[in-house]
Amino acid sequence: MMHRPPPPDDFALKETNPHLGGGKVSGDKLTSTYDLVEQMQYLYVRVVKAKDLPGKDVTGSCDPYVEVKLGNYLGKTRVFEKKTNPEWNQVFAFSKDRLQASVLEVTVKDKDVVKDDFIGKVFFDLNEVPKRVPPDSPLAPQWYRLEDRQGNKAKGELMLAVWMGTQADEAFPEAWHSDAAVVSGADGLANIRSKVYLSPKLWYLRVNVIEAQDLLPGDKGRYPEVFVRAILGNQALRTRVSVARGINPMWNEDLMFVAAEPFEEPLILSVEDRVAPNKDEVLGKCAIPLQYVDRRLDHKPVNSRWFNLEKHVIVEGEKKKETKFSSRIHMRICLEGGYHVLDESTHYSSDLRPTAKQLWKSSIGVLELGILNAQGLMPMKTKDGRGTTDAYCVAKYGQKWVRTRTIIDSFAPKWNEQYTWEVFDPCTVITIGVFDNWHLHGGDKASGAKDSKIGKVRIRLSTLETDRVYTHSYPLLVLHSNGVKKMGEIHLAVRFTCSSLLNMMHMYSHPLLPKMHYLHPLTVSQLDSLRHQATQIVSMRLGRAEPPLRKEVVEYMLDVGSHMWSMRRSKANFFRIMNVLSGLIAVGKWFDQICNWKNPITTVLIHILFIILVLYPELILPTIFLYLFLIGVWYYRWRPRHPPHMDTRLSHADSSHPDELDEEFDTFPTSRPSDVVRMRYDRLRSIAGRIQTVVGDLATQGERLQSLLSWRDPRATALFVIFCLVAAIVLYVTPFQVVALLTGFYILRHPRFRHKLPSVPLNFFRRLPARTDSML
């Protein structure tokens, strides 16, 4: 095998030993709700409501709000207008690491135009605050009498709950955080909170267009050239022009779409006549709501139906005009529940289940991910003349996406958030991406700013040992047009727990995709087009969530655009193939040394082994499998102990020419100057010329094999036919073991009995004709 040098230490994976779950470790397993992350202590203040507040305005009304102050940190509730008994029910969280005071001050104020009026306040000594750890019940809030500035009793009461807790607290996700005090507005606060998203349920929609009848073309004096155009949302497909010219055309052609629940848009079909090269006349239309379309789980055909064609599609609310006669179209339409809708590359899919839930197998285990922290992040934007980064993580596995909260202005953010997924197939991949948030303030929406990618990590579940906690620091590597760059490191804890080892082992005998992909396979071009449509639908739906998971984030996680041409990736794939073939090449070199008696003792031992296998052929297969077993047991000592990670050497990211990277990041179609495009085109032609020569040589060897019996060269074919007859007679009268021994001894003969000239069979083969003479 070819062994590549290890990547630089800066780009390497590092094993860590964090203090997980507050140190509650039992053997190799951890025991608590948040056992894969480090505990973070917070002071929680829940402001519930107030009563009997005095009116401070001239009118005697009150517009109350509450200020929660701890040192330099100040949080405010929303304001209620003209209400003396307001209910806020808001939670404030202050990180214990950043506590700047020993006293918590909660003040009730009356909002005013010039200056807010003081109503009353409550003090808390932090040394007296109780601790609460889930699954303990939430702390019951209590009424506290407000005090004036001198500490005397004031009018009004405030209901509060104050406690010390961790990030496992139920109040944590929706709380106002002191770390994010600079974020303003409801949109900004929503954009920094943690969130769980679900991908929309995707279906393949199969439209089998069979035929149409009684069409009414505008020009009766010509045979119409009819085709069907189908539109679903942003997807548009069309059939070929019907071979049967006339008013009753036939197609029997399948069109495939991707549809997402809830079905918002109908399928619109229009039958059109090509009256001129760039002019099509619509002969009729029909709109089919997908809610009423049949759903099938297997390959049994659904019933076909006739649909009336109208000149105009009826919109909801309009009255349908009665027509005594109309054209019709015959179709078979169904939503395919037996396929898995591919929205990510098959090389690192996170879900392989069919669409229909009835076909799902039971889960085989649970995947737990602890997103601990990041270190050494690069500044992603400039604010007030200095670099800053507002980082958050997104993890995607199956249909579930998770987004951590955004840590404001930190190059070493600590998230310590834990998430769980059900696992249905071990041969799947979880993807974790880190991004910089550009939407901290509501006004950023109009600016069109995009969240910047910092890097991502992929972990294949089948490479993990079950029930083991993996804690590693992964390098965040991003390829730019000027080379590969390390953007920092992300610290993760991963555990894959298997509920049934037998079920998981049994999964390795199942097909990777649902059976419909094999019974009625889709073409490669169909799959590429459908994958593109699926990723567009997923990114559009998640972008409509609140807060949105933006398009650039979803496309980066789903590797949209990874199929585009890249010189770097082509080189990497070529060397991957050579690495795979290196084992065969090494065996060939070793056998050549045996044949040339480089080591006489080894050659003699091979002779003895060969004689034993020829005399006892029943030992051949057992010997091979025993050898493979021993190799596997021997390599067990050096089995990988860490999950795989992004490899810059394997990707050829650290040795690519700048122009190759610039070409990889070019738009499609290109936006580069014509002289650069010409240079790249010439380079591509030279590479393609070499590939063309290799393919031609392979074709030549195959045609020479065919010409052995084709009589293209009558003398060569006559010689081969006579040889085959003699060989058949000799092999018939000679025992097979004798033939095998003689052949083996001839191949392993000593160098003094060899000639440097090519052998007779090779000379004969090279003289056979190929079809290169007929090539233009």
Structure tokens at 589: 């070199």
d(CA 381, CA 159): 42
Q: Which of 5-14, 538-547, 701-710 has the lowest mean pLDDT?
A: 5-14
> pLDDT-derived band of residue 220, with 50, 70 and 90 as boundaries?
confident
Say which amino acid occupies 674: S
Q: Assess if residue 517 is contained within a domain.
A: yes
d(CA 140, CA 121): 20
**Do residues 575 and 541 share a domain?**
no
Quick check: 317 pLDDT over 80? no
Structure tokens at 524: 């490669």
> pLDDT-derived band of residue 641, with 50, 70 and 90 as boundaries?
confident
Which carries the bigger pLDDT value, residue 117 or residue 66?
66
pLDDT of residue 22: 61
Q: φ, ψ for residue 346 (rounded to 5)?
A: -65, -20
d(CA 604, CA 597): 9
Say which amino acid occupies 523: T
pLDDT of residue 3: 47
Highest-confidence range of 67-81, 98-112, 136-150, 702-716, by mean pLDDT? 702-716
> pLDDT-derived band of residue 719, with 50, 70 and 90 as boundaries?
very high
Structure tokens at 221: 């004096």
> pLDDT-derived band of residue 236, with 50, 70 and 90 as boundaries?
very high
d(CA 305, CA 298): 19
**Do residues 290 and 397 share a domain?**
no
Q: Is residue 45 a contact partner of residue 106, using CB atoms and an 8 Å limit?
A: yes
Q: Is residue 321 a contact partner of residue 312, using CB atoms and an 8 Å limit?
A: no
pTM of this structure: 0.84
DSSP state at residue 29: E
Segment 383-388 shows an average pLDDT of: 86
Say which amino acid occupies 761: P
pLDDT of residue 247: 85
Segment 280-286 shows an average pLDDT of: 89
| Cα distances (Å, whole numbers) of residue 751 to 397, 587, 755, 761 | 60, 20, 8, 19
Quick check: 58 pLDDT over 70? no
**Do residues 183 and 213 share a domain?**
no
Q: Is residue 365 a contact partner of residue 497, using CB atoms and an 8 Å limit?
A: yes
pLDDT of residue 596: 87
Q: Assess if residue 563 is contained within a domain.
A: no
Tally of domains in the chain: 4
**Do residues 490 and 533 share a domain?**
yes
Quick check: 325 pLDDT over 60? no
Q: Assess if residue 12 is contained within a domain.
A: no
Segment 453-473 shows an average pLDDT of: 93
Q: φ, ψ for residue 256 (rounded to 5)?
A: -115, 135
**Do residues 209 and 156 share a domain?**
no
Q: Which positions ≥6 away from 642 have C-beta within 8 Å? A: 13, 15, 470, 472
**Do residues 588 and 624 share a domain?**
yes
Quick check: 496 pLDDT over 80? yes
**Do residues 603 and 742 share a domain?**
yes
- The secondary structure of 662-722 as a DSSP string is HHHT--SS--S-HHHHHHHHHHHHHHHHHHHHHHHHHHHHHHHHHTTTT-SSHHHHHHHHH
Range of 679's domain? 570-774
Q: Assess if residue 35 is contained within a domain.
A: no
Facing residues of 105 across strands?
69, 123
d(CA 411, CA 210): 61
Tell which of 165, 193, 221 closes a domain.
Answer: 193
Strands of the sheet containing 226-232, edge to edge, are: 235-238, 226-232, 267-276, 279-288
**Do residues 226 and 264 share a domain?**
yes
Quick check: 375 pLDDT over 90? yes
**Do residues 136 and 222 share a domain?**
no
Q: Assess if residue 36 is contained within a domain.
A: no
Where residue 455 sits, what CATH number does that domain have? Answer: 2.60.40.150
Segment 643-649 shows an average pLDDT of: 85
Q: Is residue 67 a contact partner of residue 507, using CB atoms and an 8 Å limit?
A: no
d(CA 565, CA 569): 8
**Do residues 770 and 714 share a domain?**
yes
Q: Is residue 587 a contact partner of residue 567, using CB atoms and an 8 Å limit?
A: no
Structure tokens at 56: 């401070």
Quick check: 46 pLDDT over 70? yes
Segment 263-276 shows an average pLDDT of: 90
Quick check: 370 pLDDT over 90? yes
Q: How much of the chain, in percent, has pLDDT values that exceed 90?
A: 46
- The secondary structure of 246-277 as a DSSP string is SSS-EEEEEEEEEEESS--S-EEEEEEEEEET
Q: Is residue 496 a contact partner of residue 369, using CB atoms and an 8 Å limit?
A: no
Q: Which positions ≥6 away from 555 have C-beta within 8 Å? A: 535, 539, 561
pLDDT of residue 23: 56
**Do residues 427 and 291 share a domain?**
no
Q: Assess if residue 722 is contained within a domain.
A: yes
pLDDT of residue 442: 57
Q: Assess if residue 640 is contained within a domain.
A: yes
Helix (H, G, I), strand (E, B) or coil at 5: coil
**Do residues 625 and 696 share a domain?**
yes
Quick check: 159 pLDDT over 70? yes
| Cα distances (Å, whole numbers) of residue 481 to 434, 478, 568, 666 | 20, 10, 12, 9
In degrees, rounded to 5, the angle at the alpha carbon of residue 499 between the alpha carbons of residues 497 and 502 is: 115
| Mean pLDDT, rounded, of the chain | 87
Helix residue spans in 448-509 (DSSP H): 501-507
Strands of the sheet containing 414-423, edge to edge, are: 14-15, 469-480, 483-498, 365-375, 414-423
> pLDDT-derived band of residue 649, with 50, 70 and 90 as boundaries?
confident
d(CA 652, CA 7): 11
Q: Assess if residue 456 is contained within a domain.
A: yes
- The secondary structure of 334-368 as a DSSP string is EEE-SS----S-GGG-S----SSGGGPPPP-EEEE
Quick check: 189 pLDDT over 90? no
d(CA 744, CA 566): 47
Number of Cβ within 10 Å of residue 525's Cβ equals 8
Tell which of 305, 336, 367 closes a domain.
Answer: 336
Quick check: 416 pLDDT over 60? yes
Segment 450-468 shows an average pLDDT of: 92
> pLDDT-derived band of residue 186, with 50, 70 and 90 as boundaries?
low
DSSP state at residue 314: P
> pLDDT-derived band of residue 85, with 50, 70 and 90 as boundaries?
confident
d(CA 592, CA 490): 49
pLDDT of residue 200: 94
Which carries the bigger pLDDT value, residue 3 or residue 724?
724
pLDDT of residue 181: 66
Q: Is residue 14 a contact partner of residue 486, using CB atoms and an 8 Å limit?
A: no
Tell which of 126, 160, 193 closes a domain.
Answer: 193
Q: How many CA atoms lie within 13 A of 732 on its CB side?
A: 6
